[in-house]
């Protein structure tokens, strides 16, 4: 409990230790701490940025998808329209061809009927003449009565 020169020695040691810490201990540790803080701050900022980028990219993707879908819908509509148009054209063409064919067939049929009618007329005339010939025998001269026969033929139409 007595005071002596230990006090002065302790005082000197106190300052030496303080000086040593100030010179060789404190600065590197504080520097490391500050650097780490900066690093962590950077990392957090980068993470935030990445998150924002991701959100942006997601939004973009949704937008692109929507656009693609719209485009596809448009294409489909155009294709449908084209198909409808082609079908319409084909149908018209077909109708036209059918009509033509029918026309031709009808004409042919008409001609055939006409021909058959003519033939039948000839035949009837011939039969009538033959019948008359048989009935009248020589009284009728085909050549002399040609006009009569022609008239008869006309009446049969």
Residue 97 interacting with another protein (CB under 8 A): no
Cβ-contact 120, 157 below 8 angstroms: no
DSSP state letter for 144: T
CB of 47 to another protein, least distance (A): 17
Cβ-contact 122, 142 below 8 angstroms: no
Nearer to another protein, 11 or 150 (CB): 11
- Of 156, 149, 157, which is closest to residue 129 (Cα–Cα)? 149
Nearer to another protein, 20 or 116 (CB): 20
Cβ-contact 140, 129 below 8 angstroms: yes
Query: Mask of contacts with another protein, 14-33, x by CB under 8 A?
Result: xxxxx-xxx-xxxxxxxxxx
Please give the residues from 34 up to 63 whose contact with another protein meets the rule CB under 8 A. Answer: 35-36, 38-39
CB of 24 to another protein, least distance (A): 6
- Of 120, 123, 119, 128, which is closest to residue 149 (Cα–Cα)? 128
Q: How many residues bind another protein (CB under 8 A)?
A: 34
Nearer to another protein, 7 or 157 (CB): 7
- Of 139, 114, 113, 116, which is closest to residue 148 (Cα–Cα)? 139
Nearer to another protein, 1 or 157 (CB): 1
Interacting residue ranges for another protein, rule: CB under 8 A: 1-11, 13-18, 20-22, 24-33, 35-36, 38-39
């Amino acid at each position: 409990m007595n005071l002596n020169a230990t006090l002065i020695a302790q005082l000197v040691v106190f300052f030496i230790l303080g000086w040593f810490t100030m010179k060789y201990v404190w600065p590197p540790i504080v520097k490391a701490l500050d650097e780490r803080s900066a690093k962590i701050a950077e990392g957090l900022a980068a993470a935030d940025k990445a998150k924002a980028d991701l959100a942006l990219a997601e939004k973009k993707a949704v937008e692109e998808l929507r656009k693609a879908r719209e485009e596809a819908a448009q294409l489909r509509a155009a294709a449908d329209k084209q198909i409808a148009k082609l079908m319409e054209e084909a149908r018209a063409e077909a109708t036209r061809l059918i009509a033509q064919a029918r026309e031709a067939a009808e004409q042919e049929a008409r001609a055939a009927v006409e021909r058959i009618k003519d033939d039948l007329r000839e035949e009837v005339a011939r039969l009538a003449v033959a019948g008359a010939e048989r009935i009248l025998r020589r009284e009728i001269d085909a050549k002399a009565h040609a006009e009569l026969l022609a008239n008869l033929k006309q009446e049969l139409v």
